A and B are shown apart, each in its own frame.
Chain A
Amino acid sequence: MKAARFDYVRPADLHQAVAALGRAGGGAKLLAGGQSLGPMLNLRLARPSLLVDVSRLDSLARVEDIGRAWRIGACVTHSRIEDMRDQLAGGEMLCEVAAGIAYRAIRNRGTIGGSIAHADPASDWPLALAALGATVNIRNAGGARAMPLEKFLLGAFTTALREDEILESVEVPKLSRAGRYGYYKFCRKTGEYAEASAAAVFAPGSQIARIYFGAVRPAPVSLSALARRVAQEGQSAVSEEAISAAVVAVANDLDPVERRMVIAAVTRALQQVFAS
């Protein structure tokens, strides 16, 4: 279980990194924290001709307050976000989600951008960031582009990122002071990927609610109709029947076990939202 042969470069800046990707003509892989790519290399499931190591690029490791949102560099580690508990006003949910990813050794190396770009359906960031309405910033040779995270996630392990592009940062809108969130995932054991997961955000003042479930589908699934009702009616819109109906309405092909888990996950995420 040793990796097949590959070349390795560590570019000095984002510009060089993009150039290296372009020269490799599709055979390259970006290396950030390596927590998914490392095993895939060793199992020879990933066989890039070139690894472009961006893990030490300062420009990808910034956490910036841009007013309405937090801009988080792609190579910011999960543990760094976890440890920013009192420094991310309006982004507290990020800290909580980060703290629940795998276990600390993985959080010390794994990055938020790597996780999004890897797009594992059972991972935490795609779901949580979809619920938070995040957008992603992408750099390429021609310049830059941005898109909503939901558009970026095309399916299981599939994103809108082209072979010569780098995910630069993610912008996460801040929750208002009255804003509430819930995040529930069910893992068979500590550190595993989720069997079922759900994330919910509710801003009572602005009557905004977003509810998503994850893990059982290739990408996070929005329960938008239920979210609209919650946005207008608050907690009174939440009942097991309503959740069950909402889940079945968007995913009527879930098997009974998955459906049961998803309903429980959504219910528990919403319970957190409305917990006093």
Chain B
Amino acid sequence: MTEVTGQGVGARVRRKEDSRFLRGRGNYVSDMILPGQSEVAFLRSPIAHGSIRRITKPPGSEGRVFVRSDLAEAAAMIAPTTVPGYKLSEWHPLAHGKVRFVGEPVAMCVAPTRAEAEDLTEQVEVEFDELPVLVDALAARAEKTVRVHQQWDDNLFLTLNLDNGYDANAKGAPVVVRRELSLNRQAMVPMEGKAILAHWDERSDQLVVYYSTQVPHVVRVGLAQFLGIDHGQVRVISPDVGGGFGYKVIVHPEELCVAWLALKYRRPFRYIEDRREHLVVGANTRQHHYRLTAHADQRGRLLALDAEITIDGGAYSNWPFTVALEPGQATGNLPGPYDFRGYRCKTYCVATNKPGFLPYRGVARTGVCFAMELMIDAIARAVGREPWEVRHDNLVPASAMPYDNVTRKHYDSGDYQKALLTARDKIGLAAWRERQRKGEPDGRLIGVGFASYCEQTAHGTSVFSGWGLPIVPGYDQATVRVMPDGGLEVRVGVHSHGQGMETTMAQIAHEITGVALDKIRVILGDTGTTPYSTGTYASRSIVMSGGAVASACKELLPRFVLIGAHLMQAAVNTVRYERGMIVGPQKSIPLREVAEAWYLRPQELPPDVDRGGLETTLAFKPARDTGAFSYASHAAVVAVDTRIGQVEILDYVAVEDCGTLVNPMVVEGQSLGGIAQGIGTALYEESPFDANGQPLASTFADYLLPGPTEIPAIRIFHMETPSPYTEFGIKGMGEGGAIAPPAVIFNAVNDALKPLGVELTETPLSPRRLLEAIERAGASAALPVGDA
């Protein structure tokens, strides 16, 4: 990697936004107060499945307590796709006739303070006729009598079937490995949950919505559509957002409710999701179950893979991404970075009485990486080789790039094997194997694990239109404007909520224009002031909006030259633009003089000046929109205390390639955050439900997140293979960190427990799961108790 000095693409500059964040001066919806603002609280269903017989509002609560029938102007959210067989669900802003999961909003209460609004919820009486509850997706998959959506004939949102050369390639394979694996349900737990403040602005005749969202333009489309008003009558301003991770790419019912209130009563209403609400209604992701059969040769070379995937889709599909995104991504991405030619996959997305599944950082790939990488290790054990060797032999080699895989995904570039070998060397495998042989003085067992993945990023129109979603990403635009003092304003329709885009977008603008970073303002997240974009998701923003910023900046350069040449009285063809200066044959002038001419001294402009002035809006889309594939190999060493079931991560290495790095420090920050979340999935985070569909982890006492002491000193190494299709060769990378950790940690633990004949296949790896597996294996007696 070439370390770039300066401020442009590749420079390790500090984030512009950090000053306000570190000083506590960010501005979140929770910080906002508008005159006359009311607070909103929701009465939520205490049961997982039931018909609403009657709702009784407290006397005198008109205009303060609302049920579904009061919100006539707000439509149910229905998200279609063109995927055959997909069944529609209606998601109402408040429960309509029936409740389908614990926490579903049933009534909305309004008061001057949140505490009083909560008091009001306690005065609303709801009578239910309880219905049998579907909690287990495998059981619900076969259930036809009890149905989450009565109008269906089963509980299947969607069933996908794919077969590409399975029988032919599987036939006669000498090694057959079967495994059942699963990931449990969890929540995304951004620091800030849902947050919305809506009011009616009489002057602009607009519903103005301060909205903690990743996709301001998309939710504007949604609110206008579901409230039946003109798109121009909605302005969404996404202020500082405390993390998104996929939780904030949709319109949530609570948000539609609050927008409706402001539209109806023409005054400000605010709703802030609290932590308990988040852990209950946000228990909505990661839950996959796999039955896999791998066919390989004697050396562990994978020949064919048979998969049955069951995704617990929860109660409702979401708008606009739909619950179909997850099974689609799981089916398409399971083969991972591997070169094999036989693949059969049947994927069920099942409706259950839990919150509707949402796409979480990594979208299905954390699950498929977990499943595939544990299979690679299982194959390695079956053929008696080192897992890294089998992994290496199966990875798509650099010589095959670009490579179209068994699901016809187009891997654009990279050296997957080199990343793995680098991870092996950086973790120091040989030394750990030696230490493993010697044994630990404290009796703990050491294990080393690897995992490799590749990740489709910034995939665009052709991919999303194939799924037929209500919103398909197309061109992303950027507006770049030179200010009268020669500074720049850059406006993009994506939003930054941890990605550092106020810095990286500015670095791209600096790369093209040479304007100093502190003179470049990046404006995001406001439909009133930024060009349309489908927003920030799918690791797309730096590729798409970053590409647009570069395009728009380039578009302006000839205009600078034209005006500059005129000011210097030089022929245009003798003048060039270089790092903020218009350079002529005799002298040079700074961009500021051109700006002053346009804004303040137009009498100095040439007669043929470009009427676009010193600003432009231009769109970008990669030359090929099937995605720029980032990839990585992670390696980890763990010590397992088999007496108490504790796993300590002793070392963790990530070798990643996201193409050209815009800011290595931002990439590392994103990777660290993602890996921390992945460690959460691997070891801590779980939203269990009992047989009645009651969530059992509704506070942080029960829902464990990794803290600073649970995250090891992660070592990140970069490779840089530019994508052939994107501006600068940038690939997206926001999600990648969260993909590999469950796989790599389980592989390391299973390596440690190999002497006991114990293999773990279900996330998270709680002490109880670990100890139960050891107990089952009956392998405890020989181990020292040790003092860990």
Give me the interface of A with B, judged by CB distance under 8 Å.
Answer: 1-5, 39, 43-44, 186, 188-193, 195-196, 240, 256-257, 260-261, 263-265, 267-268, 271-272
Contacts and interface: CB of A to CB of B under 8 A. Distances in A.
B771 A261 contact: yes
B785 interface: yes
A265 B785 CA distance: 10
A43 B115 contact: no
Given A186-B644, A188-B704, A260 B787 contact: no
A65 B785 CA distance: 39
B645 A261 contact: yes
B145 interface: no
Contact of B710 (A190, A260, A268): A190
Q: Which 5 A-B pairs have the closest CB atoms?
A: A2-B115, A264-B643, A1-B274, A190-B709, A257-B771
Given A186-B646, A240-B785, A191 B707 contact: yes
B276 A5 contact: no
A257 B707 contact: no
A3 B274 CA distance: 13
Contacts of B276: 1, 43
Given A188-B767, A190-B710, 20 more contacts: A1-B276, A3-B115, A4-B115, A4-B118, A189-B707, A189-B709, A191-B707, A196-B644, A256-B772, A256-B775, A257-B771, A260-B645, A260-B771, A261-B643, A261-B644, A263-B643, A263-B785, A267-B643, A268-B787, A272-B787
Contact of A265 (B644, B684, B701): B644
Contacts of B275: 1
B766 interface: yes
Contact of B785 (A192, A195, A267): A267
- Most B-side CB within 10 Å, residue of A39, A265, A272: A39
Nearest to B764: A188
A46 to B, nearest CB: 14
Given A39-B699, A196-B644, A257 B768 contact: yes
Nearest to A187: B646
6 contacts: A2-B115, A39-B699, A188-B767, A192-B701, A267-B785, A268-B787
Contacts of A193: 701
Contacts of A260: 643-645, 771, 775, 780
B669 interface: no
Contacts of B706: 189
A47 to B, nearest CB: 10
A257 B780 CA distance: 11
Contacts of B710: 189-190
A36 to B, nearest CB: 10
A271 B766 CA distance: 25
Nearest to A275: B787
Interface of B: 113-115, 118-119, 122, 274-277, 643-646, 684, 699, 701, 704, 706-707, 709-710, 766-768, 771-772, 775, 780, 785, 787-788
> Which residue among A43, A188, A268, A272 has the maximum number of chain B CB atoms within 10 Å of its CB?
A188
B775 A257 contact: yes
Contacts of A5: 115, 119
B699 A43 contact: yes
A263 B781 CA distance: 13
B359 to A, nearest CB: 27
B648 to A, nearest CB: 11
A196 B641 CA distance: 14
Nearest to A3: B115
Contacts of B707: 189-191
A271 B643 CA distance: 15
A261 B645 CA distance: 8
Which residue of B114, B706, B767 has the most chain A CB atoms within 10 A of its CB atom?
Answer: B767
Contacts of B643: 260-261, 263-264, 267
A46 B772 CA distance: 35
Nearest to B641: A264
A148 to B, nearest CB: 29
Contact of B767 (A2, A261, A272): A261
Contacts of A240: 785
A188 B648 CA distance: 10
Given A43-B699, A189-B710, A193-B701, A264 B644 contact: yes
Contact of B684 (A43, A189, A196): A189
A190 B643 CA distance: 18
B779 to A, nearest CB: 12
A190 B707 CA distance: 8
Contacts of B787: 267-268, 271-272
Nearest to A182: B787
A195 B785 CA distance: 17
B767 A195 contact: yes
A5 B123 CA distance: 14
Contacts of A272: 787
A2 B117 CA distance: 9
B47 to A, nearest CB: 19
Given A190-B710, A240-B785, A4 B119 contact: yes
A216 B114 CA distance: 37
A263 B644 CA distance: 9
A189 B767 contact: no
Nearest to B708: A190
A138 B105 CA distance: 46
Nearest to B273: A1
B281 to A, nearest CB: 13
Nearest to B769: A257
A275 to B, nearest CB: 8
A265 B641 CA distance: 12
Residue of A39, A257, A265 with highest tally of chain B CB at under 10 A: A257
A189 B684 CA distance: 9
A44 to B, nearest CB: 8
Nearest to A122: B701
A2 B767 CA distance: 33
A2 B644 contact: no
Contacts of A191: 707
B157 to A, nearest CB: 32
Contacts of B646: 186, 188
B699 A2 contact: no
With a 10 A CB-CB cut-off, give which of A43, A44, A260, A267 has the most chain B CB atoms.
A260
A162 B646 CA distance: 40
Contacts of B114: 2
B775 A2 contact: no
B709 A257 contact: no
Contacts of B274: 1
Taking each of B644, B646, B704, B780, which has the highest tally of chain A beta carbons within 10 Å of its own beta carbon? B644
Contacts of B709: 189-190
Contacts of A265: 644
Contacts of A263: 643, 785
Contacts of A188: 646, 684, 704, 766-767
Given A1-B274, A189-B704, A195-B644, A264 B118 contact: no
Nearest to B41: A2
Contacts of A195: 644, 767
A189 B119 CA distance: 35
A21 B699 CA distance: 30
Nearest to A36: B701
A266 to B, nearest CB: 10
Contacts of A39: 699
A18 B785 CA distance: 49
B775 to A, nearest CB: 5
A263 B785 CA distance: 9
B90 to A, nearest CB: 29
A43 B700 CA distance: 12
A264 B785 contact: yes
A3 B118 CA distance: 9
A166 B267 CA distance: 49
Contacts of B122: 4
Given A1-B276, A2-B114, A257 B645 contact: yes
A240 B787 CA distance: 13
